[in-house]
C-alpha cells in the first residue's frame, strides 16, 4: 500500500501496521502526526486504507471476469441516501468553509433545492421518523422512495462526483459489476454489487454512536449544512497521538460484525444493491 500523507503537522512518525481483511492481511505504512491528532484529522489516512481495500477487491473482481463497472459520468448511485459519519461531516463542513464565497453559495443553493425536493416528495418526513431504523421493511421503502425522488447529491456535477478525493467512505464502498444501465433503478433491476470483506465506514459509525448516544452514528449527507450549524466537533472526542488514534480505529474495525453475504439494504445507510 502506498505511503499515506499525514495531516498537517511539524513532526510525524512513519509506522507500519497490518489490517485483517477476510482471510488475508493488508500490510500498510503511514506517516502519522506525533502531536495531538483527532479522528477527523486522520481521515486522509483512513481514506487511503479504504482505497487500498477497494483496489484489492477490484483486482479480484477483474481476475474473476466480473470487473467493476462504476465509471466517472455514471451518477445513478448519487441519487440514493448517502450515510456520512460525523467525522466525515466535520471534515466536509470544514472544507466547504475554505471555498470562495461564490462557490460555497452555489453549493448551499443546491443543498437547499435538494432538501425542498425531498420534502415535497415526502421523504424528509420519513427520514426524521426513525422507526425505519428498526424495521427492515420501512428501511427498504425509505431507500426506494429516496431514489425515486430523483434528487441528486449536491456535490454531483455533470454526473460525476465533484469531491471525489474526499468523498465519504460509504461512496467508496458502493461498487457494482453489472451493466451501469441497471443502476437506473436498483429497486427494480438485479444490480450486481460487490461484497467487501470489511467496511471502514462501520468503525466510524460505531465511534459516532458512542459520541451521540444513539443507534445510528451517522447523518444523511443531505443534512450536512443543517448539521454544521450545530458547531459540533466530534473529532475532539476521539483524539491522541496519531499512533494512538490509528490504533483505536483499527481495533474498532477488528471488532466490527461480519458483513452478510446477501443484504438488499445496507443497515447503515440504505444502499440498494445485492451484497
pLDDT value at 230 more than 60: yes
Cα 173 to Cα 51, 53, 57, 70, 77: the distances in Å are 9, 9, 10, 11, 12
Q: Percentage of the chain with pLDDT > 90?
A: 63
Domain positions in the chain: 12-255
CA–CA–CA angle 191, 197, 202 (5° rounding): 90
- The pLDDT score that the predictor gives to residue 234 is 96
- The pLDDT score that the predictor gives to residue 260 is 57
- The pLDDT score that the predictor gives to residue 1 is 46
Which range scores top for mean pLDDT: 26-35, 166-175, 214-223?
166-175
- What are the backbone angles phi and psi of residue 205, rounded to the nearest 5°? -60, -40
Which range scores top for mean pLDDT: 24-38, 157-171, 260-274?
157-171
Q: How confident is the model at residue 258 (pLDDT cuts 50, 70, 90)?
A: low
Rounded Cα distance, 202 and 207, in Å: 9
pLDDT digit string, tens, across residues 17-75: 888 777 788 888 999 998 999 999 999 999 999 999 999 999 988 999 988 988 888 88
Rounded Cα distance, 60 and 10, in Å: 39
pLDDT digit string, tens, across residues 74-129: 888 899 999 999 999 999 999 999 999 999 999 999 999 999 999 999 999 999 99
- The pLDDT score that the predictor gives to residue 195 is 87
- The pLDDT score that the predictor gives to residue 259 is 62
Question: What DSSP letter does each residue of 57-112 carry, written as one string?
Answer: HHHHHHHTT------TT--GGGGSPPEEEHHHHHHHHHHHHTS-HHHHHHHHHHHH
Q: What is the pTM of this model?
A: 0.89
Amino acid at each position: 500500500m502506498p505511503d499515506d500523507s499525514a495531516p498537517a503537522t511539524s513532526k510525524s512518525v512513519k509506522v507500519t501496521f497490518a489490517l485483517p481483511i477476510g482471510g488475508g492481511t493488508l500490510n500498510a505504512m503511514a506517516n502519522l502526526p506525533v502531536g495531538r491528532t483527532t479522528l477527523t484529522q486522520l481521515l486522509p489516512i483512513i481514506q487511503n486504507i479504504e482505497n487500498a481495500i477497494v483496489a484489492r477487491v477490484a483486482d479480484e473482481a477483474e481476475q474473476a471476469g466480473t470487473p467493476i463497472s462504476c465509471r466517472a459520468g455514471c451518477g445513478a448511485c448519487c441519487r440514493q441516501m448517502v450515510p456520512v459519519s460525523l467525522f466525515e461531516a466535520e471534515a466536509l463542513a470544514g472544507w466547504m468553509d475554505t471555498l470562495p464565497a461564490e462557490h460555497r453559495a452555489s453549493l448551499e443553493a443546491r443543498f437547499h433545492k435538494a432538501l425542498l425536493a425531498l420534502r415535497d416528495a415526502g421523504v424528509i418526513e420519513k427520514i426524521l421518523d426513525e422507526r425505519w431504523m428498526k424495521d427492515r421493511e420501512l428501511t427498504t421503502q425509505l431507500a426506494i422512495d429516496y431514489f425515486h425522488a430523483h434528487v441528486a447529491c449536491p456535490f454531483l456535477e455533470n454526473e460525476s462526483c465533484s469531491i471525489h478525493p474526499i468523498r465519504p467512505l460509504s461512496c467508496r464502498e458502493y461498487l457494482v459489476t453489472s451493466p451501469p444501465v441497471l443502476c437506473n433503478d436498483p429497486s427494480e433491476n438485479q444490480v450486481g454489487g460487490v461484497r467487501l470483506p470489511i467496511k471502514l465506514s462501520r468503525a466510524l459509525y460505531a465511534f459516532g454512536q458512542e459520541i451521540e448516544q444513539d443507534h445510528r452514528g451517522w447523518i444523511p449527507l443531505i443534512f450536512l449544512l443543517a448539521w454544521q450549524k450545530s458547531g459540533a466537533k466530534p473529532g475532539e472526542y476521539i483524539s491522541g497521538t496519531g499512533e494512538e488514534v490509528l490504533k483505536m480505529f483499527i481495533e474498532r474495525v477488528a471488532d466490527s460484525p461480519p458483513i452478510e453475504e446477501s443484504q438488499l439494504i445496507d443497515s447503515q445507510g440504505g444502499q440498494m444493491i445485492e451484497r
